[in-house]
Structure 1
């Protein structure tokens, strides 16, 4: 078993109760037990600073350092014990490694309803069945709903709420008299809905897939990270399914599958429900209602849910019989939390797998350089690593479907073929050809809205955000200028606020404008746009993807929501409209991200029995990145990047952390960061003998967006070739920051292993 329950620990009805709270203080708090039956791990309600808060019991000491007459009493205790020992150990590691208060770490990992004082009640789900023979004539001629419900119940041994709901929206009112009379019975279930009918189709594994499955299962039952490096369409999901079939054959065993974004969950869930219908499955992501999230979390915690599919927060879900962890698209930056505790779910998953002694599979067509570095070890070069690789590398070089081939990739030189309304003549011709053939196309542009800039041609004014040092995006249909960083909205001005010119023009392309252009060029085409503005409803993305699979869409326009994980058999063309801005980014990770993004979106083409083609519009077709992309040679590209990182001593060859600060006045930020830099350098000088390698402490700088939501920002970067030395420096820096006299005037955070500044 992966975990031990805290519920087996001692209970107390008197004495001291030591708890953690969701407050920004890195300490535990003592309270008196007024006679309640309290055990370790219980949720309790305690008074704190004039409020009542949920707390988690960490210890039941015999005495407190605080005098008894100054201790307040626990107000209420709940019966549940949310965490087991292993989960708390993982949370403690994260609080220490990411330098975040332990109480906030613990409470933030709970579903919202377990952080509220009122009793946590999840919506009950029921299965219905006939308990007696249905008397003839029970349903009269005018009782059509009752007749249909009875017919459905007679056809099936049990019916779910979803099945009964398909009959009529008034089914609950109709079935209640049958429950009262005992004609129909019901039982409570945990699963959110029944799995799909088992699929009879089980693809034959090719040699590469079979080798990957065998290699992982041969070392099941112990900690081992596996990097499953497979080209797009190589059948990584089928490998996951076969692993789950084998691992879950053991009674009570559980598996956690993580995806970077919500939009990947429905498709993966559908595949697993149809192929693994014998195992109960739940999902954990932000599109669930709070009632659903609590129910799914409790199903995982109790062990009733055998498979859990979730986004990054699911890495902290208690699962008492966890035997396998899988991270799909492990390279994706969405696994990194960018507020609160800045954890990376991939790294936390590795720690959890090691604590539980189980294998963890990291799958990607474009692995992160960190994972690539760990998988190659000494193979990356003499300067890369003087150790054996800590990951085992498994490679899928070919697409799983015998008839499917990797798409051909071409660069369209926009200096010779200028685009009109965002589309070059070559791309228009390719779209026309697909429409004539009855095939589908995808246009990728990672900008939502109508245009990224609103411009005055007379005085060169550009529309700025009122709260941020960023440009606002024009959303023409809503007649709004919207900041995609802080969410501020303002109406589109009728004239230039600087010179009064009424001729204001949108500059650049975004998804709404491309959609408008396509509707004008191809009025007969069925065009669908997929971005955060159109996919807002709970089932909106699932319904749209179903329409694509049913052939009801000819041209898709999408952002990164469509770049990975989706399999459209009739999609043969991918057009990439704008990539050049990423080539000149000051972020050293920009080329890695761009290559991964383009490789992923290119992989959407030609996944069926028809050849695929990718057209990339760029003014720099000779760039080395595009040369590697056309060859679809990730390994060569990654190795060249890795050598650059090793030379510059950037991650993964070294470790970095960023201390960020913000305030209404930048002078306060600058003073705080200057003092921090001086203190950190003094600490390193005073403890020089303790550092095997001296950390680098850079001067304070401002990020690309210097002002965000009216707060002025700055940061200091710390860098070191040894993780332990960097952690030692961070511990001293955080202790210093917590005692700084400006503590009340600024907000500061630590971002360990930062991905963006």
Structure 2
């Protein structure tokens, strides 16, 4: 038997272009090895962990030849995982990712491996049983062999501690070469704390339990009650000790007999067992008293795997399905019909829907009911959300509808939490996986439905190799498994909408808001949008960042006791610190950007590398005191609103105030629970949040990022404006939106003010077709980074010439190169960045022609980039 194995160059799967290697599988291991398992193999002069990609009968079995007459293969030495860690369909998806994004297969395979499992390996040394001890051993060789004779095996670290690292590196290869020892590699995985815990459950009959209780109470009647006034250092009498013991044993049995143990998990009711540590805290029972109950057969102590639960202690209210409007029902019917269709059930390729639903149209409820239909078929689902900030609210909705059946996966969890959730999914204990883009790679068999919520979001794009897009990978996974894929958005990406209008996807639309509260024949309406021309405000003498119409609207909202959102996609108090005498601008000494003033900390901060310095009071060049702060950020908006409305409770939600998952949740909870009146924030507040008490949304400046030199600038601006406007009026109260801008005539702002995606798409796709932008051609952004500007320029020029030669050799049409040129921010963190853009209908044909020598260290390649900056 032979195995195709993906072998890394070190103990972890590195981004290296390593082909699949063929190994011989000894007969003794043949029955234990299958695709997706981790095995130990010889690699060079050492042992390494490898992922089994495929197995096949050896050529000698197929041809009837003698194995000795065939090329000699190295053999697999051991099995490191008892089960397949990667499903066959996941191996196929890894191959698709590697091919579609011109990435090393090893880096694509790493996406599917259990979190932290391969983060650490250890090498173990064992004596070769048949080896005789030679007489010409060196001192170090004798030490190692002596240590091995006292133990069955040694960790390499033990030898290093005795001999030191350099001596150990010298002696171990010599011992292996002389066939005195063998070295194997074993997985240790990431440190995830204690993996097992003791639990307690009732095990005796009801009759035996009641009999013991009667006997215990009879004894208590004859024993003195424990003294409540006894000093801590005063030893209790023997009878008092027995009385205390019986009381604690009775309390323990009563808790075990209760219906809702506090030691269980809030979102998984009905646990039959308690954690021993929890019981001991509550009843103060001693280990010996607990053992007495176990010896009597009343309770059983179990050793169970400890689960690091990301939802421990979280109260989640259960919910049932809501009544759907007519449009929602039609959409759900189309999706459920696909779930029952023959292609999906037979795995011949799933159906892809693009659900274009305006904000508040009830897309999430359709997802929930489609998942319910999936579960009735005995299949499972994956739901992707773009940001960690959205996950808590999404988790409440999905876990409330499907209690105990939802697993959570995203980068904000600890390695232990992600690994335990992975194990739940692999064991089939969770039917729905919810999370950010990494959730797509969970080991979900019987996959029936994949939902990509807010499919237009750039957060679905990975910025490291492999530079996959989770939306495209979800579509590929649907085709491989036969699962139905639903892409949902109020502002679909131009590429997805173009594919839907050209037959590649099925377009479903919800163009009215879902009824609020009780079912109603009149759907809720989108909030009206008022464009505020800041040029007119300036002419009238208003230089405040809050225009007169926005100030009046905020005042009226506060008087009605309602909530408001102020959106500005820029952090800090001022975007630049400038000397008005000589023109000096405070710039980061590591990056080619101006530093942002943060009034709260009285510092200037680089938002790219994190450099922080005191605010200059005197100009370092001309010594003038004419230092001024220009521009506006969320911190300054917060200060301005507090000055205008001293009684208002204002929250700010941006990367400066919400650095952890817990802070994200607390800020959202505080606003939902009406502990704040106004929420000031960046794009975090524009993405899919359901805030029914918000009746006013103010966009402080719609011009931020509108004119960046990036072909997606208008698409991003339209999406942000539409999404943030959609936070208003989602409850029973009507909403209103005010958009402040210096460019009120821009087609993007005009379309967003009308909630008119169709007209925006028509204008945008026309421009892209004219210039050959996606979806008409694919882009590849190649960026080279170096400490010297000249080297970066020369290297980028060299690659451009190499790509030009490949294009000429293949005679590729509609394929060209833009650049090389400095990146939009040329110097970042002290290193210069130069880039070029390859534009082609089939860029992978060009990129796969490059060798490792063509892309030395320092290059990063982003296929289908979400930004060309």
TM-score of the alignment, normalized to the shorter chain, above 0.5: yes
Aligned pairs for 1:527-546 within 5 A: 527-546=650-669
- SS at 1:232 equivalent: coil
Q: Distance in 1 between matches of 2:679 and 2:797?
A: 50
Q: Where does residue 188 of structure 2 map in the other structure?
A: 119
Q: Where does residue 649 of structure 1 map in the other structure?
A: 772
Which of 43-52 and 207-216 deviates more? 43-52
Q: Distance in 2 between matches of 1:111 and 1:420?
A: 55
Match of 1:706 among 804, 821, 826: 826
Residue 673 to residue 64, structure 1, CA distance change in 2 (3 Å): farther
Q: Does residue 555 of the first structure (1) align with residue 546 of the second (2)?
A: no
Residue 493 to residue 53, structure 1, CA distance change in 2 (3 Å): farther
Q: Does residue 273 of the first structure (1) align with residue 384 of the second (2)?
A: no
Which of 420-429 and 309-318 deviates more? 420-429
Q: Distance in 1 between matches of 2:837 and 2:365?
A: 42
**Structure ID, larger Rg:** 2
CA shift for structure 1 position 75: 8.2
Q: Distance in 2 between matches of 1:176 and 1:364?
A: 57
Residue 258 to residue 669, structure 1, CA distance change in 2 (3 Å): same
Q: Does residue 203 of the first structure (1) align with residue 322 of the second (2)?
A: yes
Q: Distance in 1 between matches of 2:423 and 2:23?
A: 28
Match of 1:241 among 346, 350, 368: 368
CA shift for structure 1 position 687: 2.5
Q: Where does residue 15 of structure 2 map in the other structure?
A: 24
Residue 197 to residue 101, structure 1, CA distance change in 2 (3 Å): closer
- SS at 2:628 equivalent: strand
Q: Does the 8 Å contact 2:111/2:441 carry over to 1?
A: no
CA shift for structure 1 position 468: 1.3
Match of 1:492 among 581, 592, 615: 615
Q: Distance in 2 between matches of 1:613 and 1:558?
A: 18
Q: Distance in 1 between matches of 2:664 and 2:489?
A: 23
Q: Does residue 400 of the first structure (1) align with residue 514 of the second (2)?
A: yes
CA shift for structure 1 position 475: 2.7
Q: Does the 8 Å contact 2:550/2:738 carry over to 1?
A: yes
Q: Does the 8 Å contact 2:354/2:507 carry over to 1?
A: yes
Residue 230 to residue 497, structure 1, CA distance change in 2 (3 Å): same
Q: Does residue 576 of the first structure (1) align with residue 570 of the second (2)?
A: no
- SS at 1:100 equivalent: coil
Q: Where does residue 659 of structure 1 map in the other structure?
A: 782
Cα distance per residue 1:7-45 (max 9 Å; x no partner):
xxx799xxx966345233211457798999572433246
Q: Where does residue 347 of structure 1 map in the other structure?
A: 472
Cα distance per residue 1:197-245 (max 9 Å; x no partner):
7745532110111001111111225211101111100000000011011
Q: Distance in 2 between matches of 1:395 and 1:141?
A: 73
CA RMSD in angstroms, aligned pairs only: 3.5
Q: Where does residue 7 of structure 1 map in the other structure?
A: none
Which of 129-138 and 554-563 deviates more? 129-138
Q: Does residue 82 of the first structure (1) align with residue 151 of the second (2)?
A: no
Aligned pairs for 1:72-221 within 5 A: 77-116=80-119, 117=121, 119-120=188-189, 123=195, 129-131=201-203, 132=209, 153-156=256-259, 158-162=261-265, 171=281, 174=284, 177=287, 180=291, 181-182=293-294, 188=304, 192=309, 199=318, 201-220=320-339, 221=341
Q: Does residue 607 of the first structure (1) align with residue 730 of the second (2)?
A: yes
Q: Distance in 1 between matches of 2:634 and 2:821?
A: 34
- SS at 1:337 equivalent: coil
Cα distance per residue 1:59-115 (max 9 Å; x no partner):
56869999979x798688343431011101101111122122111221244344212
Which of 134-143 and 654-663 deviates more? 134-143
CA shift for structure 1 position 641: 1.0
Q: Does the 8 Å contact 1:191/1:305 carry over to 2?
A: no
CA shift for structure 1 position 283: 0.8
Q: Where does residue 628 of structure 2 map in the other structure?
A: 505
Q: Does the 8 Å contact 1:684/1:694 carry over to 2?
A: no
Aligned pairs for 1:272-291 within 5 A: 272-277=398-403, 280-291=405-416
Structure 2: gaps spanning 5 or more residues:
59-66, 122-186, 204-208, 229-243, 267-273, 345-349
Residue 500 to residue 72, structure 1, CA distance change in 2 (3 Å): farther
Residue 676 to residue 515, structure 1, CA distance change in 2 (3 Å): same
Equivalent residues, number: 718
Taking structure 2 as the reference length, the TM-score comes to: 0.76
Q: Does residue 753 of the first structure (1) align with residue 864 of the second (2)?
A: yes
- SS at 1:113 equivalent: coil
CA shift for structure 1 position 618: 0.7
Residue 198 to residue 612, structure 1, CA distance change in 2 (3 Å): closer
CA shift for structure 1 position 47: 7.8
Residue 707 to residue 271, structure 1, CA distance change in 2 (3 Å): same
Q: Distance in 2 between matches of 1:310 and 1:516?
A: 35
Taking structure 1 as the reference length, the TM-score comes to: 0.86
